[in-house]
Structure 1
Amino acid sequence: MNIVQKFKKFLGWRSTPKPHITLNDEYYGHLAPFRLPFILTVLVMLIGTVGYMLIDNFPLMDAIYQTGITFTTVGFGEIRPISDAGRIFTITLIIFGFVVFSIAIGIIAEVVKKGEFQKTIKERKMLYEIARLKHHFVVCYHNEFTIQVTKQLRASHIPFVVVDPREDMEEIAKKYHYPYFVSAEPHTEAGILKSHLSSAKGVITLADNVADNIATIASARLYEREIHRGRKFLIIANAKNNEDDQKLLKLGANKVVTATKLMAQRINAMAARPDMENLLQEFLYKKDTPLDMEEAKVSKTSWLTLKKIKEAHFRDIANVTVVGVRQKDGKFIPMPKGDTIIMPESKLLLIGTGEGIYKAKKIIRKKAKPEELKYV
């Protein structure tokens, strides 16, 4: 580590993350047409300067200045007496200046008319903004599901990037308030790199057909192995039927949502227990409710491993209740008793305020029994 790096570390400076695809080739490719007028300008300035120095013995700076005002046709006049040969040379410079200026205007008009340069600048800026995201979700394909899912993600302040191959993604993003978007196929290398999947928490693929979901899941899992990612991506997908549901789970999806199945469950709940359905609606989805529900994983190194639930004193310390335990093998224990043993890698379903659940999670993550529990 050199002195500059040490100084930056001391001041807490961090370098700006760069996207995996910077579009530098495309960016500089759009500037290529400007090479000709730039080269011509330099040549005319060089020839003009040398010409004034040889013809009328101008000093270097006077020659550069006279060439500049002549070439640009600003009309300041002669700064020193010029001979007849010098005036002919000046007329030639004015003509060359007009030609170069006309070429430059034509190129600028053509580039602006195409709009590709402006499009590349906007996309490049977007990629740098996406590169700064951490623990975001890559939401694949724009449709009605995406619109509703992104509304909930925004309400929960969860960052996300929408990836879709449509060319009009900029207009779609403005209409549906997508802060970050990428116009590419989600399962391609461009889609993966532009969405900065390496720093994402997971992928939500909501394609209209199962083939696109399969391609996206397979690509995400392959990329996960390629970058040797320690924590696996959380992949959520949608399916039209149970057969597709099982396919996607076998391919590597963590969760698969079937719209028809969910609708049937909700309608059944409304028909059987309408009051309970209203309660769950208020509890789970209303923004201003003081209560929250979350799962907290008990790692092997947690002090709670192989301890009884009542030893954690969640209700006394954080005013949080454990309403369920999901074992590592998938078995769910509803309303566990205080004497229930907490097994390693199990998950506790907690209900309480957001602040209370945060305290409970801190207690669970500790490797040694917290000091505050010794006085309860």
Structure 2
Amino acid sequence: MRSYLYVISKIYIPLLLFAGSILSGVVGYVVIENYSWLDALYMTSITVSTVGFTEVHPLSSTGRVFTIFLILFNISIFTYFITVVSRFVFDGEFIQSYKAFKMKEALNEIRDHVIVCGFGRNGREAASVLYRNKIPFVVVEMNADKFENADFPLTHRMIADATKDEILLEAGIDRARSLICAMPNDADNVFVVLTARDLNRKITIISRASDYTSVRKLKIAGANNVIMPDTIGGAHMAMLTLMPDVKEFIDLLSTQMSDNFQIAELIVDKNVSLVDLDAWRTTGATVLGVKTIAGDYILNPAPAVQLHTGDRLILMGALEQIRDVSKKIGVL
């Protein structure tokens, strides 16, 4: 139903003109020829449709002049209507507008998603990982050409400027779990981070940076993490020369997730020690590390490590195993 209303909204002007013509014709025949309302509507209908039926009653000279103008006016309206519809359909405007309408409907429905700002090399790779791990996401990119030749479907995308508040709101910033700023310009990333943090105080924000001086600015603006792709790329290459198989295995762990294998982060909601939790024996999940509420990491933690409310437990295991641990100590 909403789709039909949307199509009508695109041609409402000729429709209003047509309705106005019908109303004018009815009122004109009632006033000029003293027709009844039914006769006036019938006379207007056969005049507008140019079917050539005989008049209901003989017309006066004034009535004939009025009929001539009514016919000419409706021919103009019909021509205008055909022009609008033809341009709307055959020039591709209808398809593009309808796609935009359906995309807006889809954006209104999405929840707990990730917003990716920028679809260059970094943004495309981030979206690809999200897609492979079945995490809903919205891509915001000004250049429509960058969406071409994507090797995965983009069910939620916006050709728009992510630095504008209304665009982030349309992308569902108030309902999103995370935002990734992957635009090439550091100044744009700072602006988006600042805007996103103002619109959603709880959202997790990850931004890229090209310059070391931008890292501090992005964190002050509200970014939880700042990534420098060039630095990480160099470190990645160095690690591949030292431990190629280990590095590839770690990359596989972090990007190829399924129901049979997940690396997850749980927020602890009660005090408990790892030995009492005994995750491996009771659920089969493996504890990789702990991030304390103070922000410190404990890698390969010993059984005696005490978990406190607000700490984050990093686990590896099947989705069902991780859910079992979540029932004991916290939420995903």
Scaled by the length of structure 2, what TM-score is found?
0.83
CA contact (8 A) 2:239 2:247 kept: yes
CA contact (8 A) 2:259 2:319 kept: no
Task: Tell me how far 1:112 sits from its aligned partner.
Answer: 5.7
CA contact (8 A) 1:49 1:67 kept: no
Q: CA offsets, 1:329-376, max 9 Å, x none? A: 22222222222211332111211112111211121128xxxxxxxxxx
CA contact (8 A) 1:136 1:161 kept: yes
SS at match of 1:236: strand
SS at match of 2:155: coil
Task: Tell me how far 1:113 sits from its aligned partner.
Answer: 3.8
Task: Tell me how far 1:206 sits from its aligned partner.
Answer: 0.7
Partner of 1:40: 21
Q: Specify which of 196, 201, 204 is matched with residue 220 of structure 1.
A: 196
User: CA 1:278/1:335 → structure 2, altered by over 3 Å: closer, same or farther?
Assistant: same
Q: Specify which of 299, 308, 324 is matched with residue 343 of structure 1.
A: 308
Task: State how far apart, in whole Å, the 2-side matches of 1:326 and 1:344 are.
Answer: 11
User: CA 1:179/1:173 → structure 2, altered by over 3 Å: closer, same or farther?
Assistant: farther
SS at match of 2:306: coil
User: CA 1:343/1:129 → structure 2, altered by over 3 Å: closer, same or farther?
Assistant: same
Task: State how far apart, in whole Å, the 1-side matches of 2:12 and 2:259 are.
Answer: 54
For the pair 1:100 / 2:74, whether they are aligned, the reply is yes
User: CA 1:179/1:344 → structure 2, altered by over 3 Å: closer, same or farther?
Assistant: same
Task: State how far apart, in whole Å, the 2-side matches of 1:103 and 1:51 are.
Answer: 23
- Which letter does structure 1 place at the counterpart of 2:170? K
For the pair 1:187 / 2:163, whether they are aligned, the reply is yes
User: CA 1:345/1:287 → structure 2, altered by over 3 Å: closer, same or farther?
Assistant: closer
Task: State how far apart, in whole Å, the 2-side matches of 1:271 and 1:174 are.
Answer: 34
Q: CA offsets, 1:256-312, max 9 Å, x none? A: 11112211222122111122123324433335683321121213xx2xx1x221111
Task: State how far apart, in whole Å, the 2-side matches of 1:155 and 1:87 are.
Answer: 76
Bigger drift between 33-42 and 332-341 goes to 33-42
SS at match of 1:325: strand
For the pair 1:257 / 2:250, whether they are aligned, the reply is no
Bigger drift between 208-217 and 115-124 goes to 115-124
CA contact (8 A) 1:70 1:90 kept: no
Q: Specify which of 134, 149, 172 is matched with residue 126 of structure 2.
A: 149
For the pair 1:126 / 2:103, whether they are aligned, the reply is yes
Task: State how far apart, in whole Å, the 2-side matches of 1:123 and 1:33 are.
Answer: 23
For the pair 1:286 / 2:286, whether they are aligned, the reply is no
Partner of 1:137: 114
SS at match of 1:207: coil
For the pair 1:308 / 2:273, whether they are aligned, the reply is yes
Task: Tell me how far 1:51 sits from its aligned partner.
Answer: 4.5
SS at match of 1:351: strand
Task: State how far apart, in whole Å, the 2-side matches of 1:152 and 1:49 are.
Answer: 70
Q: Specify which of 214, 226, 231 is matched with residue 244 of structure 1.
A: 214
Structure 1: stretches of 5+ with no match in the other structure: 1-15, 17-23, 367-376
Bigger drift between 42-51 and 118-127 goes to 118-127
Partner of 1:178: 154
Task: Tell me how far 1:117 sits from its aligned partner.
Answer: 7.4
Task: Tell me how far 1:234 sits from its aligned partner.
Answer: 0.7
Partner of 1:271: 241
Structure 2: stretches of 5+ with no match in the other structure: none
Task: Tell me how far 1:111 sits from its aligned partner.
Answer: 7.4
Task: Tell me how far 1:217 sits from its aligned partner.
Answer: 0.7
For the pair 1:355 / 2:331, whether they are aligned, the reply is no
Q: Specify which of 155, 172, 179 is matched with residue 196 of structure 1.
A: 172
Partner of 1:327: 292
1:16-165 equivalences in 2 (<5 Å): 31-32=12-13, 35-51=16-32, 54=34, 59-75=36-52, 77-78=53-54, 80=56, 82-83=57-58, 85=59, 89=63, 92-93=66-67, 95-106=69-80, 109-110=83-84, 113=87, 118=94, 122-165=99-142
CA contact (8 A) 2:107 2:171 kept: yes
Scaled by the length of structure 1, what TM-score is found?
0.74
